Amino acid sequence: MADPLSALSLASNILQIVGFSGKIISGSSELFQSTTGALKSNEELETITNDLVTLTKKLNGLHLAQRPDSTSEEEQALHKLCTGCAGIANKLLLRLTKLKVPAGNEKKRDGKVFNTLYKVHGQKGNC
């Protein structure tokens, strides 16, 4: 007979597999029904990130339009923050684009759905 810790560990692993499988199944249903090829949460994140890019461009442009030749330390820090924010937002948009499932051949789409869901749910902490 297995010791209690081994039994608990096995039960925990089984629950993780069941939970992960449930996420894959529900996510695949959502992706197959999606007209954009993306999960709803990714669509929302993409919208917010696009808004962030637009706002940082406006803020950076406003700062440069008001005083293009002389900048204070605060203005330089703001410019650096806007540049960094835009860079990170663009990287996020690129990743979100890679997570979209393209329309087309059903067999290729099936494989892409599974790969996309694994990337989303299997590597949550690795972003």
| CA separation for the pair 118, 68 (Å, rounded) | 47
| CA separation for the pair 47, 113 (Å, rounded) | 21
Q: Where are the domains of the chain?
A: 1-37+102-127, 40-98
> What's the pLDDT tens digit per position in 18-40?
886 777 676 777 777 777 878 88
Greatest CA span in the chain, whole angstroms?
A: 79
pTM, two decimals, is 0.62
Number of Cβ atoms within 10 Å of the Cβ of 31:
24
> What's the pLDDT tens digit per position in 44-87?
999 999 999 998 888 877 766 666 566 678 778 888 888 898 89
> What's the pLDDT tens digit per position in 82-122?
889 889 999 999 988 887 877 665 555 656 666 666 666 66
Q: What is the DSSP string of 47-80?
A: HHHHHHHHHHHHHHHHHHHH-SS---HHHHHHHH
